[in-house]
Chains A and B, each alone.
Chain A
Amino acid sequence: MSKAIAIPESIHYSNADIAHGEPSISLAVYTLALRELVRFFRQRTRIIGALGQPFIFWILFGAGLQGSFRGPAGISYQEYFFPGVAVMIVMFTAIFSTISIIEDRREGFLQGVLVAPVSRTAIVLGKVFGGTILAVMQAVLFLAIGPLLAFVGLSPPISTGLTWFNFPVVLAYLALVAFALTSLGYLIAWPMDSTHGFHAIMSVFLMPMWLLSGSFFPAPESGWLSWVIRLNPLTYGTAGLRRLVTPNIDAVAGLPSFPLCLAVTVASAVAYISIAIWMTGRQTAHNAR
């Protein structure tokens, strides 16, 4: 058999698909992100888990730790923990929306996407945007409803710096943090064959990453722990949000400056998404499984 089989130039393709041309990236990203949203709202348990857990954490930890907590500038634990819970919501949503990559692969759905003539970048962006939208929606809901719990006695009154005025900025910043964390979840989930592996990574890497980001407790002045927190990129995500939603300036005085927070968060988002796109673009035997 000859190696090069010449196809006459004059071939007329009877089928119409060639006329479709290159499918657009935006349409592919839109449809993949939309699928994430539709799936989320059809799985009632996911909604309950995603919204219920952070509220329970906030109320219970708040009630349990408020006596012993000495926060910066004397703020209550609930007030301190408030932005931390928002970051937790973002992280859990990122985790659960990217864990679906493993399910998509196992159930065969992913193969169908991979044989479509869409750019691999679109596949990554679709998933990550879907997760980002879900995360931001839930975090905003928490930021809006959380302070109202004081009226039913579940928390002491807390003052949030969230106003109609800075809402767009908070929204944009949450979206940035969510984009970074969903990209991180994506690049962890992509090479995995089972959700068990992902759960292991979640316990030993993602949960500590959140715990050591200044979300749960403030960084000590010195010692190894202070260094771990300083080197954790998520510290800057949390600190940036804290600066935006804490009205008490003294309470955030010890945190990294907002421009630094923004720079680190943008840089980590770019790094995570780049690795995710690179991984997805590689043609490996793993993709065909």
Chain B
Amino acid sequence: MSDRIAVSVCNLRHRYGDHEALCGIGFTVSTGEIFGLLGPNGGGKTTLFRLLATLLPVQSGTATLLGKNVATESRSVRQLIGVTFQSPSLDGKLTVAENLLHQAHLYGMSGQTAKSRIDELLDRLGLKDRARDLVQSLSGGLKRRVEVAKSLLHQPCILLLDEPSTGLDPGARHDLWEYLSRLRRDEGTTILVTTHLMEEADRCDRLGILHRGELVAIGKPDELRLSVGGDCLTIQSLDPKSLAEKLANRFQLTPRQIGESIRIEGNAGHELLRDIVTAFPNEITAISLAKPTLEDVFISRTGHRFWENEPV
């Protein structure tokens, strides 16, 4: 990994009417890094993605990609980036190969250059035998692969992906991430990905957590988890409410009831686990001890659950 700066965002704000979608955020991404923007829907991820992709006008603040300003040098920025959209930007009435050729032409490649580059990507993404199929006949996973191939045709320095796993089954998701890791390793491509999936966020080198237009945390996934500290006990019970009360009285804890389970954060989790199981052997259906997850990071930074806006 290098310390050159691929993406630099400074005090970026964006509002839609009265609604402030981004409230002045800033971060940098080094070249060759896989950087994730994690947050629930409506957190501002897609707005940020569209600003970086030159689709939205910059209202306030600056964003530069490899030193090119998104607002004033959008043509240069467009040369540098490859963009994978949440809903694939493909023409269903064209074949896979035709879609890619169209894209190649838009990026100034034609003839043999375009052809060999298209063949290479079809091969690398395992699309060779589907090249002559109409895109509208492909499954969601295959469409996504074509979309990725499309965004890589011109060998972009920076790849922007908006929720790339939407609609993908776990196998296809795994393949996609394998491919992204390889791309970063072999070609040094900087990858910026938005996601609402913890599992996906875990695969990033660094993460920014966006909540209500603010960057509430930034760092490596492990660092973020460590920042929460301690251990996490998750207890399943048939009657979580009464068990939570009993636990609170007996061990002077502050258990949090989340849905049907109870969560306890604290140090020396292994000892606590033993004591709890001994004390309430019949009221616990399952208990697990784990290090904090990214979801715990989100909860501790925002005071909100990831999926809902209500306070925990």
Contact = CB atoms under 8 A, between A and B. Distances in A.
Interface of A: 1-3, 5, 7-8, 11, 13-18, 20-24, 27-28, 30-32, 35, 38-39, 42-43, 107-118, 283-285, 287-288
Interface string B82-122: 01011111111110001001110111111000000000000
26 contacts: A3-B10, A5-B10, A5-B64, A5-B67, A7-B5, A11-B67, A15-B155, A17-B80, A17-B154, A18-B157, A21-B108, A27-B105, A35-B102, A107-B87, A108-B87, A109-B90, A111-B83, A111-B89, A114-B54, A115-B55, A115-B83, A117-B108, A283-B56, A283-B57, A287-B55, A288-B56
A116 B78 contact: yes
B79 A113 contact: no
Interface string B41-80: 0000000001001111100001010110000001110111
A243 B78 CA distance: 48
Interface residues of B, number: 55
Q: Which 9 A-B pairs have the closest CB atoms?
A: A112-B89, A23-B108, A31-B105, A7-B67, A117-B78, A288-B55, A116-B106, A108-B87, A283-B57
A30 B105 contact: yes
B108 A115 contact: no
Contacts of B79: 17-18, 20, 117
A112 to B, nearest CB: 3
Given A13-B66, A31-B105, 8 more contacts: A7-B66, A13-B157, A22-B108, A28-B106, A114-B55, A116-B78, A117-B76, A288-B50
Contacts of B150: 112
Nearest to B87: A108
A8 B66 CA distance: 10
Nearest to B61: A3
B28 interface: yes
B97 to A, nearest CB: 12
Contact of A31 (B81, B92, B102): B102
A22 B106 CA distance: 10
B141 interface: no
Contacts of B195: none
Contacts, number: 138
Nearest to A116: B106
Contacts of A28: 105-106
B219 interface: no
Contacts of B103: 112, 116
B189 interface: yes
A15 B81 CA distance: 11
Contacts of B83: 111-112, 115
Contacts of A23: 105-108
B296 to A, nearest CB: 27
A2 B86 CA distance: 32
B28 A1 contact: yes
- Residue among B53, B55, B85, B103 with most chain A CB within 10 A: B55
Given A20-B107, A111-B55, A112-B85, A11 B78 contact: no
Contacts of A108: 85-90
Interface of B: 4-5, 8, 10-11, 16, 26-28, 50, 53-57, 62, 64, 66-67, 74-76, 78-81, 83, 85-94, 98, 101-103, 105-110, 150, 154-157, 187-189
A282 to B, nearest CB: 9
A288 B87 CA distance: 12
A72 B156 CA distance: 64
B57 A284 contact: yes
A5 B4 CA distance: 10
B155 A115 contact: no
A257 B185 CA distance: 69
A20 B86 CA distance: 27
A288 B89 CA distance: 12
Contact of A20 (B64, B75, B108): B108
A118 B106 contact: yes
- Residue among B16, B98, B106, B109 with most chain A CB within 10 A: B106
Nearest to B86: A108
Contacts of B28: 1, 5
A154 to B, nearest CB: 34
A5 B5 contact: yes
Contacts of B75: 22, 117
Contact of B93 (A3, A31, A42, A114): A42
Contacts of B56: 283, 285, 287-288
A117 B67 CA distance: 17
A35 B155 contact: no
Nearest to B90: A109
Given A111-B89, A112-B85, A17 B102 contact: no
A8 B98 CA distance: 39
B89 A11 contact: no
A117 B89 CA distance: 16
Contacts of B105: 23, 27-28, 30-31
A98 B128 CA distance: 33
A35 B91 contact: yes
